[in-house]
Structures are given as C-alpha cells and as structure tokens.
Amino acid sequence: MELVKASTRYLTVTETAKLIRLTLKKRYPNIVFSVTSKKYSGGASIDVSWTDGARAKEIDAIVKGFEGSSFDGMNDLKSYQDCWLLPDGTAQLAYRPDSYGGSKPEYVSDAPHPNAELVSFGANFVFCNRDVSNYDTRYNEALAYIRSHCHCEGEPPNDKFGEWVTTLANRMVRDFAEGETIGQTFDRVVIRRD
C-alpha cells in the first residue's frame, strides 16, 4: 500500500484548530471547549481545555487524529505524518514513517471513506486538559473512599495503596465520568476494571 503524497493538502495550525473546534462542538454541543494554537520555533501545537463533562480519554481519541507529528521517546525522534480528513470533519492517521528501530513502526492505511482527503496538519501535537469545577470536594471524597475501602500502608498523607493514595485520588478526580458513582470511578481508575 502506498499513499500518493503529491495530493496531500497542508493545513495550517489555525485551520487545524478550527477543524478541531467544529468537530468537538458537533460531538459535544453542551460543553464549552477552549481550543488555542501556538506557533514556536520548530513547530506548533494546539491546547484543548474544558471543564467537567467528557473524560479526557474521550476527547483525546478524537483530537489525536489531528496531529501532524508523532514522537518516539526511545529514539528522541519526531516524525511528520499524514492523516485522512473525513467528510464528517473527524481525522485519523493515514501514514507515519518507521522510527528506525524505535517504538513506532511504519503505518500506512487506505482511505477509510471514498471522500476522505489526505492532509498534513500544521499542529505537531494536540494536548488535552480537563478542569474539574469542584476539584477539592471530589478529591477529599476520593481520599476518604480509598482509605475506607482499602488496606493502605503507612499513615496519611504518606499512605500507599500500591501507589500513593493522594496520586490515586487525583487520578479519580481527573478521570471521573458524568453520572458515575465514586465506587464506579474507583473500580475503573484504581482497580482498572472496565
């Protein structure tokens, strides 16, 4: 399988940010997203922020398709990649080169839709940041839940349940799902039961 690189359209970081904003607004009409772009020496990035609502994992799965680069930490190597822009405004990886023996093998895919367009996005990376409006309350509830339901080693605030209890509580707060009980969040985030 080989992509026809001559037909790749380049989209600036600003154009990429607009596409992300439209895609998120269509998918999550009740959440207000802040989508900002930054240009810097050697590249550009986009930051997506919102409060409550969708989990970071959900948003990450959508916006990572708009990244114009991949990074292999084993080789300290940034590689440029091409993506498919689909008619519904979403994007997914089309081509990524091999990272020369690192952790990122070459990836090539056929067009997932007859009207998909091969593009190169101007943002090297897209970062997500979900704020939590009642962080302190949720954090204290998570700490209390872990300490009352688990056999922890040590004394607060330096107690552990595999990892530091404070770290686990922070993860629970940052990754809770709307309508989920604290016990369900604990099972999914700490115990990792899906």
Domain range annotation of the chain: 7-130, 134-189
Tokens of 80: 């440029």
The share of the chain scoring above pLDDT 90, in percent, equals 80
Per-residue pLDDT reduced to its tens digit, 10-22: 999 999 999 999 9
Q: What is the pLDDT of residue 45?
A: 97
pLDDT band of 194, cuts 50, 70, 90: low
Instruction: Say whether pLDDT at 2 is over 80.
Output: no
| Per-residue b or e along 130-140, where b marks 16 or more CB atoms closer than 10 Å to that residue's CB | beeeeeeebbe
Distance in angstroms (rounded) separating the CA atoms of residues 129 and 85:
24
Q: Using an 8 Å Cβ cutoff, are 123 and 35 in contact?
A: no
Collapsed DSSP state (helix, strand, coil) of residue 137: helix
Virtual torsion, Cα 184, 190, 192, 194, nearest 10 deg:
20
Instruction: Say whether pLDDT at 41 is over 70.
Output: yes
Instruction: Say whether pLDDT at 106 is over 80.
Output: yes
Distance in angstroms (rounded) separating the CA atoms of residues 26 and 73:
34
Mean pLDDT across the chain: 92
Per-residue pLDDT reduced to its tens digit, 58-82: 999 999 999 999 988 888 888 999 9
- Read off the pLDDT of each residue in 130-141 and give the average, rounded to a whole number: 95
pLDDT band of 4, cuts 50, 70, 90: low
